[in-house]
Amino acid sequence: MSGYRLPQSGLGVGQAIDRGKPLSFTFDGKRYQGFAGDTLASALLASGVDLFGRSFKYHRPRGLISAGVEEPNALVTLRSGARAEPNTRATVVELFDGLEAVSQNRWPSLGFDVMAVNGLAGPILSAGFYYKTFMGPTRKAWMFYEHFIRKAAGLGAGTTLADPDRYEEMNAFCDVLVVGAGAAGLMAALAAARSGARVILADEQAAPGGALRGDAVASDLLAELAALENVTLLPRTTVYGYYDDNTLGAVERVADHLAVPSEGQPRERHWTIRARRVVLATGAIERPIVFGDNDKPGVMLADAGRIYVQHYGVAPGEQVALFTNNDGAYRSVAALSAAGAKVTAIIDARRTIGAQAQAIAQASGAELLLGHAVTRALGGQRISGIAVAPFDPARGASDTARQIAADCLLVSGGWTPTLHLASQAGGAARWDDTLTAFLPGAPTQPWRAAGACNGALGTAAALAEGARAGTEAAESCGLAAPAVTLPKIADEPLADAPLPVWDARPPHGKGKAFVDLQHDVTASDVSLAHREGFRSVEHLKRYTTLGMATDQGKTSNVIGLALMARERQLSIPEVGTTRFRPPYTPVSLGALAGQARGGHFRPTRRTPMHDWHIANGAEMIEAGLWLRPRIYAQGSETVEQAYVREARQVRESVGMVDVSTLGKIDVQGPDAAEFLNRVYSNGFLKLPEGKARYGLMLREDGFLWDDGTTWRLSDTQFLMTTTTANAAPVLTQLEFLLAAVWPELKVAVTSVTEQWAGMAVSGPKSRAVLAAALSDIDVSNEALPFMGVRKGSLDGMPVLVARLSFSGELAYEVYCGAHHGEAVWTRLLAAGKPFGMIPYGVEALGTLRIEKGHVAGPELDGRTTAADLGLGGMVSSKKTFIGSSMLDREGLTDPRRLKLVGLVSADGGKIRAGAHLVAADDKGQPPKSLGHVTSTTYSPALEKYIALGLLEDGPQRIGEKLVATYPLKNIDVAVEVVSSHFFDPDGSRMHV
């Protein structure tokens, strides 16, 4: 218990919180109080909580390191139940009343964690331990151990409940996108906006301002921007990824700061931003220094200490010490002193410091130890003191240490510019010796960097760079940007240029010294990687997993590189740096999915009679995006009982099925017949008006592609139908052929799938039904012969009637305008009532076509030829057409190709689609496959289970007994090979 809320004492203490609005929340079930404006971290710190979680591998107690997105330690599970979200950083969670958070990776409790025993085994559990130990001797060993290892390591667990909240997408376009609303970003946005440019300014924090947050300069700039119509301000929005064509991904946390989003409000919104120019003003992140037990709760980054005081009015401890290598960190001392918090000691690795820093130290009353370093943090579950030793830049810290009491240690090792986006869209980062940091490399896309991320750490410099970048960005969009006046701001007397100090451990230092806190990677692990030959930065990263946690090594990467550079006796730029991948900070899957979830995962396509089907008990089935009636079950009928009844009724009397999903293409023009003749394998030139023809389309490689009937409506107009599945690909192919292959043909093709509702009326009574319903079409056999097409109307609604049969019965397809679909459907059913006409679904449709041996999707599987399916007669040898030149290939004419046959169950067993056909006496394991089953059904006409299949020497095997074997389910069915024309082979039923 050492952090506490500071009393209100004027400006510069707790300016982000509203002490008049107390909020109540729980952490690990215990109730606490905070204020509006607090983060979960600041409110817990104010309540004296210092233990936030357990570490990834060693289960060490961990506290707060930072006050921002870089936080590697303070990861908690936020909310509960379906809204539980693991691994949220307490430092960026805005407090709301009733917030619930629980700590992670500990059992049974945060204070007493059984797995902390891993810490005792520390020397064994070094980098690569698990793989070295558990990977051998066999792959199985790893699979056995993995479960236990994963359980012991890791972070929070996600919920398996459905997320009750909404997420959505947004598309945005702008001239200039400014990422980061600190000094540089605000100024860049203003400079660009003054030119009239469309500007988007995105900032990850709730309140923009960055390091200037709360300062009058920031609020003035913000007020000016907010008043401009051409500026879009996006607070709580993290630009996480920089992609090709200057497209950036961002996530706006619309309602994450609320307990529950309000009605209609999305929790998060994903922005796809297409910007002409980008200004990266992403700031910089402070880095720590490595020493023994530097992960102990109470050790915190220096600037985070300042932020907790100034923004949230929270002192991080009662006896605060500072360890630094630069003047900038003295700002934190000044802030603590001004707020009345006690700073007991300042340990500075440098022998001399700036005058202003000296003055701050003196005024604070702290003991100032120059040329010293902190070599170890002391204490149990939290820091109680520090070991301090003389430090020499060349030789490092000495072993002779003295102890100083402290319950909080602020550490500053300098600043690391935030290069994530620059790295995603730029060349290799370049090293800056003054800042001992990497700066953005050369852009590969039109962005420019400004401010701290570009190395301009001072406020005045950042403002100036921002103004320049904004002006240049606007000008490169072709806009005239008027000059902007920079806000007056005092010169920063505290320089951030650090003495390069990475590792303050003395030669015989004790305690684990962490580099990557989130992944528990220590300085010794880096040395081990070097000893074992993993010396390139890429190998170092993968071997130790340094920088690979969800924080992407924001506080650890540069230190890791520095330590490897020391091992290799090279400079840091010689060792090089790894690149950053998106996302800059974690992105929720909900934000990426947006509205594409549940029923909206894909759009649904409905036929014009959809609502009627639902109202009349249809069970629907997906066919691509379409929903089609599968069966219309009566009472407690099973699927099989329903389709058998429906199919039987069609054969005995009459039924009607919705065929609106068939692809329909309007083919028009003086050359339409010629075009079709080149597209289909059979002839279309001589198809007379008012007639339909069944056509086959081949792929260019000669395999069968699609089939359907095409109706000649006039000399120059055809209505082509395709299979449901190939409607779009066929149209695309036709458009391609007309645009690129035969541009001289005057033909226009248009999808009219949605224009027409289609229904097939099938059965011996179908003619009687149509005769009763249609007054202006003579449907007699003479007037409307097989394959005839007639135009007419039904109660004033225009219809097209074609005498086609897929079922093998006397049958007609009736097409009408889609909006009339339901009306025509119900009128035909009414006309069919005296004949017992029923609607039937796609199951019965399949049964009827299988009984007739008509091929469909399962047979047109892209591997079959027309000849394989017994349709060789439809492949013309008198003309060329798409696919014709490849027909005579060896593979396509091989007599051993599988051929279509019919199969009848010999033992009454149900034949499974996908079963393999094997010889009855084949005892092989596995037996030799002679072919396979494609389509299967129970046949009410034959009163047996039947199937279509593709079989070696198919037609020659008619009469043979085979076995249809389905080893996955251990099902063998004895089958007899028959002709695929099971029922009415001479077609007498449809020619009546």
Partner 1 sequence: MSDAISPLKGHAEPCTAGRGAPGVELAERALVSLVQVAAWPDTAEQVEGIVASLTGCAPPQGPSGSSGDAEGAILAIAPGRWLVESRDPRLAQRLAGQIGPDLGAVTDLSHARVAIRVSGPKATWVLAKGLALDLHPTAFPPLKVAQSAIHEVGVILRRVSPDNLGGESFDLYVYRGFALSFWDWLTEAAAETGYRVSRPGSA
Task: List residues binding partner 1 (CB under 8 A).
Answer: 166, 168-173, 198, 263-266, 272, 274, 595-596, 599-600, 602-608, 610-611, 625-626, 666, 668-670, 715-717, 746, 748, 750, 752-757, 795-797, 817-823
DSSP 327: G
Q: Compare residues 263 and 986 and give the one whose CB is closer to partner 1.
A: 263
Would you give the distance in Å from CA 587 to the centre of its chain? 9
CB 815 within 8 A of CB 790: no
Q: How far apart are CA 853 and CA 96, in angstroms?
A: 68
Q: Compare residues 471 and 753 and give the one whose CB is closer to partner 1.
A: 753
In this structure, how many other beta carbons lie within 10 angstroms of the beta carbon of residue 60? Answer: 24
CB 268 within 8 A of CB 594: no
Q: How far apart are CA 71 and CA 68, in angstroms?
A: 6
Q: Which residues contact 121 (CB under 8 A, 6 or more apart)?
A: none
DSSP 863: S
Kindly give the interhelix angle for 639-652 and 842-852, rounded to the nearest 10 degrees: 60
Q: Compare residues 165 and 367 and give the one whose CB is closer to partner 1.
A: 165
Q: Compare residues 267 and 448 and give the one whose CB is closer to partner 1.
A: 267
Q: How far apart are CA 558 and CA 30, in angstroms?
A: 38
CB 60 within 8 A of CB 125: no
Q: Which two tokens stand for residue 523?
A: 């300085």
Residue type, 630: R
Q: Least distance in Å: CB of 800 to partner 1?
A: 12
Q: Least distance in Å: CB of 720 to partner 1?
A: 13
Q: Least distance in Å: CB of 287 to partner 1?
A: 39
Q: Compare residues 439 and 752 and give the one whose CB is closer to partner 1.
A: 752
Q: Which two tokens stand for residue 359?
A: 């003055």
Q: How far apart are CA 655 and CA 434, in angstroms?
A: 86
DSSP 3-state of 115 = helix
Q: Least distance in Å: CB of 192 to partner 1?
A: 16
Q: Which two tokens stand for residue 535?
A: 């010396």
Q: Compare residues 171 and 569 and give the one whose CB is closer to partner 1.
A: 171
CB 215 within 8 A of CB 208: no
CB 887 within 8 A of CB 875: yes
Provide the pairing of β-strand 85-89 with 75-78: antiparallel
Q: Least distance in Å: CB of 739 to partner 1?
A: 11
Kindly give the interhelix angle for 557-568 and 537-544, rounded to the nearest 10 degrees: 120
Q: How far apart are CA 320 and CA 882, in angstroms?
A: 82
Per-residue CA distances from 541 to 80, 144, 580 (Å): 35, 26, 12
Q: Compare residues 159 and 265 and give the one whose CB is closer to partner 1.
A: 265
Q: Least distance in Å: CB of 790 to partner 1?
A: 18
CB 255 within 8 A of CB 262: yes
DSSP 3-state of 897 = coil
Q: Least distance in Å: CB of 363 to partner 1?
A: 52
Q: Compare residues 81 and 796 and give the one whose CB is closer to partner 1.
A: 796
Q: Compare residues 126 and 272 and give the one whose CB is closer to partner 1.
A: 272
Q: Least distance in Å: CB of 446 to partner 1?
A: 17
Measured torsion, CA atoms of residues 12, 15, 16, 18, in degrees rounded to the nearest 10:
150
Q: Which two tokens stand for residue 679?
A: 């597209």
Q: Which two tokens stand for residue 291?
A: 């020493």
Q: Compare residues 381 and 716 and give the one whose CB is closer to partner 1.
A: 716
CA-based torsion, 195, 200, 204, 207: positive or negative: positive
Per-residue CA distances from 774 to 756, 760, 828 (Å): 18, 15, 9
Q: Least distance in Å: CB of 672 to partner 1?
A: 8
Question: Which residue from 158, 147, 22, 148 is spatially nearest to 80, judged by alpha carbons?
Answer: 158
Q: Least distance in Å: CB of 281 to partner 1?
A: 24
Q: Least distance in Å: CB of 136 to partner 1?
A: 48
Q: Least distance in Å: CB of 607 to partner 1?
A: 7
Q: Least distance in Å: CB of 242 to partner 1?
A: 18
Q: Compare residues 493 and 817 and give the one whose CB is closer to partner 1.
A: 817
Question: Which residue from 800, 844, 820, 858 is spatially nearest to 941, judged by alpha carbons?
Answer: 844
Q: Compare residues 264 and 862 and give the one whose CB is closer to partner 1.
A: 264
DSSP 3-state of 721 = strand
Q: Compare residues 337 and 607 and give the one whose CB is closer to partner 1.
A: 607
Q: Compare residues 272 and 588 and give the one whose CB is closer to partner 1.
A: 272
Q: Least distance in Å: CB of 688 to partner 1?
A: 17
- Read out DSSP for 163-202? P-S-EEEEEEEEEEEEE--SHHHHHHHHHHHTTT--EEEE
Q: Compare residues 373 and 662 and give the one whose CB is closer to partner 1.
A: 662
Q: How far apart are CA 763 and CA 27, in angstroms?
A: 71
Residue type, 328: G
Q: How far apart are CA 77 and CA 84, in angstroms?
A: 6
Q: Least distance in Å: CB of 821 to partner 1?
A: 8
CB 375 within 8 A of CB 397: yes
CA distance from start to end of the chain: 96
Q: Compare residues 195 and 965 and give the one whose CB is closer to partner 1.
A: 195
Q: Least distance in Å: CB of 745 to partner 1?
A: 10
Q: Compare residues 752 and 906 and give the one whose CB is closer to partner 1.
A: 752
Q: Least distance in Å: CB of 232 to partner 1?
A: 11
E strand intervals along 818-930? 838-839, 898-905, 916-919
Question: Which residue from 435, 439, 352 is spatially nearest to 393, judged by alpha carbons?
Answer: 352
Q: Least distance in Å: CB of 79 to partner 1?
A: 21
Q: Compare residues 152 and 745 and give the one whose CB is closer to partner 1.
A: 745
